[in-house]
Every structure is written in C-alpha cells, then in structure tokens.
Structure 1
Amino acid sequence: MGARLPVFPLETVLFPGLVLPLHIFEQRYLAMIRHLADLPEGTPREFGVVAIRSGGPAPVAGGPGAGTGGSGVAGPVEPDERSPSERSVAEPGGQASLVALHEIGCTAELRQVTELPDGRLDVVTVGRRRFRINDVAQESTPYLTAEVDWLPEPAGQEQAADQLAPRVLAVFRQYLTLVRDDPEEIAEQLPDDPTVLSHLVAATAALTLSDRQRLLATPDTAGRLRAELRLLNREAALLRQVRAVPVPLAELAVPLSPN
C-alpha cells in the first residue's frame, strides 16, 4: 500500500539503519522539518531522501554520518524523454531547468532537532525504509511531496544471503585495512545480520553515487551482497595498484614559498 511523503532531494543515497545529519537553512525545508516535528506523538516523523540524478543547483550532503542540506528543488513533474527510473522536477521560481531524481529512495526518520539562534536547524535522521516514487507533486506545501510504494525485503533469499554474508564480511575487512587507519576497531563493530551488513557496506565503502543508487535499488539482500562482493574486490584491487606505483621524488618536492 502506498503513501504520500515529503521529499528532500539530495546528492547522497541514504540506506536503512544509517545515520544522516543535515543542516537545514532553506525556508521550505525548515517548514518541512517543523511540520514533521509538530506531528502527534506516535506518528511516523519521516521524509523521503531521493538522490539527484542530474540537473542543478543541488544541495550538498555527506553520506550517512555527515552531511549538510537546505537547498533543494521543488515544483511539478514535467514530462520528458527520460527513463522510467527517474523523475524530473522543475526548479522553483519559474526557472526552466529541470532536476532529475532517481526513482528509488529511502525514508529518513527524524530523531533529533536542534534550533540555532538564527532559525536554522541541525537535525539527525536515521534511514528507515526503501520506497519507489510513483508521482511527485507540489500541492499546498512549499516542498515536494511524492506518492510512493514501499519496498519491503522480499522473502525466499534468506539462505543465499546467509551464505554470502561471511564472504562479504571477510572482503570488507580486507578493504578496511587499505582505507582506514584503525581497521581493527571498525571491524569489531561490523554486524552479522546480512541485510544490515549489506546496507552498511553500501553506505560506507568509497563508492560512487551511481554504485550506491544501484545497491539501494537492488530488490533483495542476496543480490545486494553479490554486487558488493564485485565492487569491494574492484576497489581493493585499485587501491593495491595505486599503492604499488612508486612516486618519483621530484613529484614530492614542494617549491619554496617567498612568504
């Protein structure tokens, strides 16, 4: 069964269970957060985070764990020649350019709101559930809303996911030794649950936004873990290759500054 959600387009991909802090400064998204914060106790306080495929200007947001936000897009869906897996929305203020949104997103559950003296908001959100956008509209609100269908984890792939998880965990541990100063400390905190692991790897590995979006759109945990095995092996091989290339001393020399 579908639902209608406030939507926040960002240059990041959010996964269920991952933390996404945001710094909100634009009026329409301040209104969105305040609307959610004022909902009755027990009502889900969540909005949809959807990655921007192309167009601009766009807000800048870090991956889960760090980010900023506040500038976005708003307006009605415009017909275009793009694939069904994206939605295009007009920028506010009557501008002609379009911003294309990916079709698959993840809700962000509002966990903490801190109001700053100048009225801006620092918020902490946690990814909750995946969805597919059916329709985007700007109705009586200054921000986008979307009619969405929820994408629950399909049944029937549990055995395959259980078999893949230890392999992904082992490769991810090796990958962490190449990219982190304290890989052992991080590795001790890695989850055993295949679905949670698949979302953590997708969110924390140094992947492109396109790679992350494809992982978010993968319908089941087993498929996500298979894709992550390929991506982690690719990234680890590239890192080892870079480390194996000697750097000439001349390239390390820094010219003296007159200051």
Structure 2
Amino acid sequence: MMDTLPLFPLASVLLPGGHLPLHVFEARYRKLVQALLNEELPDRRFGVVTIRQGWEVGEDNVDSMYDVGCTAIMDNVRQLAGDRYDVSATGERRFRLLQIDTESAPYLLAHVQWLPDATPEPDNPARRERLTAAAREAHERYHSSGLRNEPHETPGADADPADLSYLLAEDCVLSVEDRQALLAETDPMVRLRDLRRLLLREAQFLRELRAVPAPLAEFAQEASPN
C-alpha cells in the first residue's frame, strides 16, 4: 500500500520509539512545521529519512537518501525568533521510500510504502527468550564498560521482542550505518541477534580504546538541507 508523507531528510537515523529533537530554521522546513501545527497534515506526522554520507539531497530521485525511513509524530513545538522552531518528535512506523515529489508543496513530499515486520516463522518461545536475554545481557555489558557512566534505562520484561532491539539501540551510541541496518531489518529475531553483535563489538571497543567512539556521521560534512 502506497501513501504520501511530508519528508524531513536528516544526517541521523530515527528508530521506532526513538526521540527526535530538531532545531528548524530552513525555510521549507519552517513551512512544514507550520503545516503540521495548523493541522494541514494529519496527526502531526512526517517522514524522516537519512541522507547518505557526503551526498546532497536529490531534487527528483531517492539516490541521495537511504530507502528505508521512519515516521515521526511531533510532540512539542517551541517557536523562536525569526520563525525558527525547536521541535521534539517520537519515532513511529517504518516505510520504504519510493519517489520524491518536489512540486506539490513548499516542502518535500514522498511516496512511500509501509514496511511492517515480515511474517514470523512458527513461534519458537525458547529461541525468542534466548535471543532476548542475550540482547539484554549485551546491553548491560555495553553500559558497564566503565566509560559510559550516564544513567540508562533497561526496557521492562514485558517489552515486545519486536520492539526491544530498537529500545536497546536507542540507549547506545551506534553509527548511522549500524542504526540504518537495524531499521531496515524486518525479522525481529534477526534484529535482536544483530543488535547483540553490535553491542558486544562496541563494548569491546570501549574496553580496548578506553574512549567512547563517535558515530561516523560526525566526521562527515553536514548534508542535511535544514
């Protein structure tokens, strides 16, 4: 099923359930915020896609962006001088980017296809519990490295395994590429397995380097149009 969303390209990856703070100052995205506030766009919903490192946003194609993004629901808005805005939003639902429309609105629109998780294989509670426990253990090992002393929250035992990988990833520093791979993976059990691998790798880096690695995107030239 295809749908249309206003689009906000960023140099970072928004995950379902994740928190997104934005400082909006570029003209077309100020107009997007105004349209959301005036309820010209339903449910205060817009799409977020990640710009590929070192690329500018394409005007008529999707080549400058990753093809899987996440919708965001605008939670709070604070208007600043010069019609700028501080915005906070929450990640909601994944989509696949099909085509960009630069003509129909003063901001980018995207034709998208929703991307639900794949139909799971016959339920295997033992495998699910094993992967869930392993991912939680890797998350705790990452935060007990001795260098990440800030408070962190561990999702409760009732957290949906399909969402757990996103909840744990949101609480860690991962590269744009790693976060994008988690966003694009449609098998929840594979997502948990991949997250565990990433967290064990990052924990090992922290122990060996005795420093917190920055996401790779921080070393790239800022490509966001906003």
The CA distance in 1 between the partners of 2:176 and 2:53, in whole Å, is 12
Residues 106 and 181 of structure 1, relative CA distance in 2, 3 Å threshold: same
**1:181-221 residue CA offsets vs partner (Å, 9 max, x unmatched):** 14xx524x433322332002223322211111111100121
Stretch of structure 1 that moved more, 234-243 or 5-14: 234-243
1:27 corresponds to = 27
- Separation in structure 2 between the aligned mates of residue 125 and residue 74 of structure 1, nearest angstrom: 24
1:144 and 2:128 equivalent? no
- The separation in 1 between residues aligned to 2:184 and 2:109, in whole angstroms, is 20
Match of 1:210 in 2: 177
Cα contact 1:161–1:225 (8 A) shared by 2: no
Q: Which has the greater radius of gyration?
A: 1
Structure 1 residue runs of 5 or longer lacking an equivalent are 58-72, 78-86, 89-99, 245-259
Q: CA deviation at 1:116?
A: 1.2
Task: Kindly indicate whether the alpha-carbon contact (under 8 Å) linking 2:155 and 2:168 is maintained by their aligned counterparts in 1.
Answer: no
The answer to whether structure 1 residue 238 and structure 2 residue 222 are counterparts is: no
How many angstroms does 1:231 deviate by?
A: 0.9
Give, in whole Å, the separation in 2 of the partners of 1:48 and 1:162. 33
- Structure 1 residues 13 and 161, CA gap change in structure 2 (3 angstroms): farther
CA distance in 1, matches of 2:95, 2:143: 30
**Conserved in 1, the CA contact under 8 Å of 2:24 and 2:85?**
yes
Cα shift at 1:174: 1.1
> Is this contact kept in 2: 1:36–1:45, CA < 8 A?
yes
Contact map agreement 1:7 1:143 (CA 8 A) in 2: yes
- Secondary structure of 1:223 counterpart: helix
In 2, Cα distance between the equivalents of 1:148 and 1:162? Answer: 34
- Note if 1:196 corresponds to 2:163: yes
Structure 1 residue 22 displacement after superposition: 0.4
Query: Residue type of the partner of 1:27?
Result: A
Deviation of residue 56 (structure 1)?
Answer: 4.5
2:98 corresponds to which of 134, 137, 140: 134
| Aligned equivalents of 1:240, 1:6: Cα separation in 2 | 42
Distance 1:181 1:102, change over 3 A: same
Say if 1:29 and 1:161 are closer, same or farther in 2 by CA, change over 3 A.
farther
Q: Partner of 1:3 in structure 2?
A: 3
DSSP-derived class of the 1:54 partner: coil
What aligned pairs does 1:29-178 form with structure 2 within 5 A after superposition? 29-39=29-39, 43-56=42-55, 73=57, 75-77=59-61, 87-88=62-63, 100-156=64-120, 159=125, 160-178=127-145
Structure with more relative contact order (C-alpha pairs < 8 Å, separation 6 or more): 2
Query: Structure 1 103/40 Cα, relative in aligned 2: closer, same or farther at 3 Å?
Result: closer
* Whole-angstrom distance in 2 between the partners of 1:117 and 1:241: 46
The RMSD of aligned alpha carbons is 2.1
**What secondary structure, in the 3-state scheme, does the structure 1 residue paired with 2:50 have?**
strand
**Which whole-Å deviations, capped at 9, do the CAs of 1:100-146 have from their partners, x for residues lacking one?**
10000001111111111321011110000000011112122122111
TM-score of the pair, normalised by structure 2: 0.83
* Aligned amino acid, residue 191 of structure 1: G
TM-score normalised to structure 1 length = 0.73
Give the total of aligned pairs: 205
Residue 91 (structure 1) aligns with: none
Which residue in the other structure is 1:180 paired with? 148
Q: Distance in 2 between matches of 1:224 and 1:216?
A: 9
